[in-house]
Amino acid sequence: MTKVEYSKGLEGVVAAESAICRIDGQAGELYYRGYPISELARKASFEEVIYLLLYGDLPTKSEYEGFHLRVRTQRDIKPEILEMVKGFPRDTHPMELLQSSIAYLSSYIDHKIHHGPNCHCTSTLHQVTQLATVVAAFHRIKNGKDYVPPRKDLSFGANFLYMLKGEEPTKLDGDIMDAAFILHAEHHFNASTFTARVVASTKSTCYSSISAAIGALYGSLHGGANERVMNMVHEVGTPDNAKAWVENALKEKQKIMGMGHRVYRAKDPRAVIMEEFLETLSKEKGDDSSYQILKTIEEVVGAHMKEKGKDVYPNVDFFSGAVYDLLGIPKSLFTPIFASSRVAGWLAHVLEQREDNRIYRPTAIYTGPEGKHVTALEERS
């Protein structure tokens, strides 16, 4: 049989054109619709970035006023959705709830409008606005607390923290949470985004596409890295233990979570911003233990890899878990927060896929047996 070359995992395969996101891995730069992430995270709100991803540019003042009102009035979930959240098993991972809730949300939408290639997913924005509400509601209910309805006067990030804790966050906490949503909103053709586009290419609904994307993000090779970084931080224990712990981990050839990235060959630009947030929060909260541990890990691993002729830098997950921890968010919610952010990018890709659609249909190299024939059942030993 002639050997056929193929790209395992589709690495390096160009599958589509996209105007949504650009990554310069060598320079360590990330752009949404041409805008650098460093400017968006520091100068825009998450609601502005949602508009940017869905409509192609940042909104004017008048466009923002109408859009931001529409986003904030869509945050609350219907009583039927809340009852579903209350009835979900308490030991279920929140990602499974999110995937189920998307399908449930679609049941309350007019399918004449929201089904197929002509669906106007941006008319309700339920997926983008309500995932964070579902996450906060499930966490409170799971811990025996009452549901806290969203507030229209708070930013997306501040409102999430309010729904989660039942008290209004400080301006700093709210601003950092809002920027964290921006940093995770989009990242080109990653596994979950590609999943969303594959489902969209079949002319399925945007709800089905996003549900599938959530399933892809739930996988341990995609989402959850920042949770494992925090497990590492807790294992290290104190800054004084960090250097010895890392050196031993490297000696044992253990994987250091949050270091390195498949695309970036420089420091992940999102990690640069997250590190700033972590340093600021550490000072504000009077607790820099996680920050000091992570900086020691970064320095020791970086020096070790440099000796081997390689440059390795932290990715966004390296610092984001510690930021969330200082904001009082439990590890079990890290990946659901990722989904609540990335849903804006997923929806943008679903809409873009429909503009010039062709169903995805790759092929595979057959490696199974040949020349078999069926014998009667009684003759098979």
Show which residues are catalytic: 261, 317
Alpha-carbon dihedral 157, 159, 162, 168, rounded to 10 degrees? 90
CA distance 156 to 153: 10
**What distance lies between CA 242 and its chain's CA centroid?**
28
How far CA 12 is from CA of 15, 187, 211, 321, 364, in Å, comes to 9, 16, 26, 30, 16
Per-residue b or e along 33-64, where b marks 16 or more CB atoms closer than 10 Å to that residue's CB = bebebeebbeebbbbbbbbbbbeeebbeeeeb
How far CA 43 is from CA of 59, 152, 157, 170, 239, in Å, comes to 13, 21, 14, 18, 33
CA distance 286 to 39: 28
Phi, psi of 31 (to 5 degrees): -130, 135
Q: Which two tokens stand for residue 299?
A: 């320095």
CA distance 257 to 294: 11
CA distance 167 to 148: 9
Bridge partners (DSSP) of residue 23 are 30
Length of the chain: 381
**What distance lies between CA 350 and its chain's CA centroid?**
16
Which residue is it, tokens 């253990």?
A: 254
SS3 29: strand
